[in-house]
Structure 1
Amino acid sequence: IFPWFNPGEPILWWTPNPRSVLFIDQLKIKRSLRKTIKKLLKSGELSITLDTDFEKVMRACAEVPRNGQDGTWISEEMLTAYLALHSAGHAHSVEVRFQGELVGGLYGVAIGKMFFGESMFSKKSDTSKIALVALALQLNEWGFSIIDTQVETAHLNSLGAENIPREIFESIVSNLTQQSFTPKKWELNPEWPNWIDTHLQQSSTLHS
């Protein structure tokens, strides 16, 4: 379940059926996005990190305007709760910076080898996609296989997310949350951009 409600409402918890998920081996990285990532990284204008500014990422997710949404469920009460989860090592963030400014990112909760995405934001084109790609490739390196993306959107589908029945999702969660994963610190491996090509080659082989 995950929280999702409007300002002034009681906290509402959701468990949609079907459930949107991203199987990491199905991650779609358009070649144009790959070129953008590599170009900006090479120029030094782009940097991606994990867990360096969790609170700022959450606040950005709350403040960035979204089509069809009025207000945000990320209240100060929720912020405090997730900051506690972050301090305990359960909640994590991805930060995308352009020329030193935070322009995109996401946050979520990891239990065992299951990552539950909570929210993402983008102040510059493609930066939330870059955040998800970097996270997915790093999680794959750590032995994760799936990211909970909660509810279907065209944005997530463009990256390979798909809907699965709730009972299948619950079975996956039951299995993966029991698997041990205790990294000392969440850090993005500097080799992650090279994994993009490896992933594309593997995807091409799988779909050929």
Structure 2
Amino acid sequence: MLVQERAVHIPGAPAAEAAESRKTRAVAKLPLREPPFARATRWALGAAYALQPQRIASLPALMLWSTLELLKGRTEVPDPARTRSIPDTFGGVVRALTPETYLAGLRIGFFPWAHCGPLKWWTRRERMVLFLPERHTSRRVRRLRASGRYRVTFDTAFDEVVLRCSAPRAYNWHTLTWLTPRFMHLFSRLHRQGHAHSFEVWNARGELVGGGFGVAIGRVFVGESMFSNETDTSKLAAAVLYDHLEQWGFALVDARDWTPVLEKTGYRRIPRADYEQVLRDHAGAPDRPGPWKAEPVTNP
């Protein structure tokens, strides 16, 4: 299967950009299953994560509620009114991870996640979100964008982006990954249905060097993961994405958890109740048809 690239115009880009953007690229092949060593490593690191001092106190309750959920048949879609306080905002064990249940969970503020053991539904007491008019683009990223060294595209290499996002980071090889083959194939199906979208950065040699992906629900974009193989390329991809999302009428971007980089970009925490109100106001809006195409931005 081949896909056609669509390049966003970046001032100063070389004339060869147009010709390069017409080239086709083969879609990456996603793994069918997690290798035994990778699975064992993930479980070991997941156990170490759960046993950290700030989390170990809630572990007995998590094991108890998870066991009870398994005995009763697990949870199709979580009930927002029946989350547990210990562990915080636990919504049940996932019964079936499908595009339909995933989207249904997102629309009420939940997402499936687990480092080890059965997949579980979670929400957050506070959500890290970006209201698009509040975004901040650093001078460094603006200079990089104006340099013409990179091209930014949408929905041209979705599976390859997902694979890159799942790979260990060179600066932090032991970081846990939640992007198992099960999730990869879920997002690939969501992409083919027009719900999940990727954004890619290509260097002058035509190499994929940065980007990320997420899921759109109405006028809310839920960021899932990003990667960067060259300095600031993920930040460049995000800046172009945010400009397009605002131009297309999106209300906000959900990143779920706090990081210092997100805070510098303009993300801020809002209470769970406020986030759920945003979902009621905007998640039911008609989805923007996919695949997305990069367009001239009015005020980049």
TM-score range, shorter chain: 0.7 to 0.9
Alignment pair present for 1:17 and 2:125: yes
Distance in 1 (CA, whole Å) between partners of 2:173 and 2:189 is 30
TM-score computed with the length of structure 2 as normaliser? 0.60
Aligned to 1:2: 111
CA contact (8 A) 2:144 2:236 kept: no
- Tell me how far 1:4 sits from its aligned partner: 3.0
Distance in 2 (CA, whole Å) between partners of 1:68 and 1:3 is 23
Of 80, 95, 102 in structure 1, the residue corresponding to residue 185 of structure 2 is 80
Aligned to 2:219: 113
Q: Which runs of 5+ in 1 are unaligned?
A: 197-208
Give the partner amino acid of 2:226: M
Distance in 1 (CA, whole Å) between partners of 2:259 and 2:228 is 15
Aligned-partner SS, 1:158: helix
Which region of structure 1 is more displaced relative to structure 2, 130-139 or 68-77? 68-77
Give the partner amino acid of 2:186: A
Distance in 2 (CA, whole Å) between partners of 1:137 and 1:128 is 14
Aligned to 2:232: 126
Give the partner amino acid of 1:52: T
Aligned to 1:156: 262
Alignment pair present for 1:46 and 2:155: no
Q: Which runs of 5+ in 2 are unaligned?
A: 1-109
Mapping of residues 171-186 of structure 1, within 5 Å:
171-183=277-289, 185-186=291-292
Change (3 A) 1:110 1:69: farther
Give the partner amino acid of 2:138: K
- Tell me how far 1:13 sits from its aligned partner: 2.8
Aligned to 1:203: none
More relative contact order in 1 or in 2 (CA 8 Å, sep 6+)?
1
Distance in 2 (CA, whole Å) between partners of 1:13 and 1:156 is 24
- Tell me how far 1:184 sits from its aligned partner: 5.4
Distance in 1 (CA, whole Å) between partners of 2:285 and 2:136 is 26
Change (3 A) 1:164 1:68: farther
Q: Percent identity?
A: 37
CA contact (8 A) 1:21 1:162 kept: yes
Distance in 1 (CA, whole Å) between partners of 2:257 and 2:165 is 16
Tell me how large the CA RMSD over aligned residues is: 1.7
